[in-house]
Amino acid sequence: MDWQTAERMANGIARARRLVVLTGAGMSTESGIPDFRSASGLWSANHRMEKMSISYWKQNPDDFWAVFRETFLSPYFLQAKPHMGHYALASLEEGGRHGLVLLTQNVDGLHQLAGNRHVIELHGHLRTAHCPLCHTAYHMADLPRDETPYCTSLTLKGECGYPLRPDVVLFGDPVPDYTKAALLIEQADLLLVLGSSLLVEPVASLPFSRQASCPLYILNEESTPLDAEAEIVLHAKIGEVLPGLLAMV
């Protein structure tokens, strides 16, 4: 562990007053949630990736929901707890001096469980589902666990009966908050990327929204395509390094 680099990163964060943090799957793997794109990741089995698309949900809602439950309503997600890196970010936000806004690619809600409040979930979340026809919202915990959920809202023609969809961004969906996230990064005086491979578009392009005066810091176990563009890069586990790093702040 290069603590000299960590100290430089801490000093930069300490000076920031409009800090934007972007987190990816590497933030969640340390809480026991598998990643998606590695050889053993969640997309490696049963063609899960192609089945998590908006077109597949429309054509095959029964199979879509079976794969969705197997992937996202598994014990990996439902039993996951925030780690010390999550709590370190929550403490940094609570301090209030850095104007911290958190952008996350993760759908697990662990940042909120740790105490962060200014969170933009770029890929949605697992808390709710909704009916695209009549727009009725449902808590995910209230839906049947072993069958496709259909809308039970009453309309003038009787029960709606349309298949529900989860409130996550599926392949083929736009990212609703992309423009908002890009504007926040454009206004930032520091962008800190934690646990993101910076490979998944369109979120991977967000760092290019920053001004020339806004430095990019990356803390990730593996290298990313933007390492050469970053002012500081630290390859380490977030939960092991971030608490001590932010304690310097």
Q: Which residues are catalytic?
A: 123
Tokens linked to 14: 């300490």
Q: Are 87 and 59 in contact (CB under 8 A)?
A: no
Q: How far apart are CA 43 and CA 51, in angstroms?
A: 10
Neighbours of 215 (CB within 10 A): 18
Q: Is 131 annotated as a binding residue?
A: yes
Closest CA to 22 of 212, 170, 202, 213: 202
User: Cα separation of 77 and 71, whole Å?
Assistant: 9
Beta bridge mates, 23: 104, 194
Cα–Cα distance between 107 and 25 in angstroms, integer?
9
151 annotated as belonging to a binding site for a ligand: yes
Distance in angstroms (rounded) separating the CA atoms of residues 159 and 28: 39
Tokens of 150: 């259909």
- CA distance from start to end of the chain: 18
Q: State both tokens at 240.
A: 């092991």
Q: Which residues are annotated as a binding site for Zn(2+)?
A: 131, 134, 151, 160
